[in-house]
Amino acid sequence: MGIAGTGGRAKGAMAEPNIVPLIDILLVLIIIFMVITPMTPKGLEALVPQPPPPDQKPDPADDRTVVIQLECLDTAAARCQRYDIKINREKTTWDMLGPRLEDVFKTRAEKVAFIKASDNVEFAEVARAIDIARGAGIDKLGLITAKIEMGE
């Protein structure tokens, strides 16, 4: 019985896999995924209305579309300083925009509105309108651009 002093193992070369490098690679991959995950882009969802086909008649349901307009009064200025705020051609103010939108949407199931601004209105003002609309309970907001309005 020559095995008594070896603790149950046979004499000769032992073949045990070294898993330390595998663990190192897995830890590096975990760290990479932890760093990349918070860097995913976040932003506002934007709905863009699509123009109807040229041969289609106007739909009477389109009268229910709510458009918040920021029209510049200084058309020659590079940056707009004075502008009108309208909800479907009805003038309003920043103070009355939120309550007016709440009144318009309190009976509607679909809470969708569009924002249309002149080219020289600063984005901060558009963002302010988006913020007020979100505060009024509007779920989805779309942006109307000049190209979309022309049907391009």
The pLDDT tens digits of the residues spanning 7-36 come to 556 677 777 888 888 999 999 999 998 888
Question: In the structure encoding, which two tokens stand for residue 116, read together?
Answer: 């249309």
pTM over 0.85: no
Instruction: For residues 96 and 62, give the distance between their C-alpha atoms in angstroms, rounded to a whole number.
Output: 24
Question: In the structure encoding, which two tokens stand for residue 82, read together?
Answer: 């004075």
Predicted confidence (pLDDT) per residue in 72-108, tens digit: 887 676 777 778 889 988 898 889 999 999 998 888 8
Q: Residue 4: is its pLDDT beyond 80?
A: no
Predicted confidence (pLDDT) per residue in 129-143, tens digit: 999 999 988 888 888
Q: What DSSP designation does 115 have? A: E
pLDDT score of 61: 43
Burial of 58-83, coded b for 16+ CB within 10 Å and e otherwise, reads eeeeeeeebebbbbbeeeeeeebeeb
Give the distance, in angstroms, between the CA of residue 6 and the centroid of all CA atoms in the same chain: 68
Sorted by where each begins, the domain ranges of the chain are 60-150
pLDDT score of 60: 44
Instruction: For residues 37 and 27, give the distance between their C-alpha atoms in angstroms, rounded to a whole number.
Output: 16
Contacts of 100 (CB under 8 A, 6+ apart): 87, 92
Predicted confidence (pLDDT) per residue in 105-128, tens digit: 888 888 889 998 887 888 888 899
Range 60-150: architecture per CATH: 2-Layer Sandwich (3.30)
Alpha-carbon Rg for the chain, nearest whole angstrom, is: 31
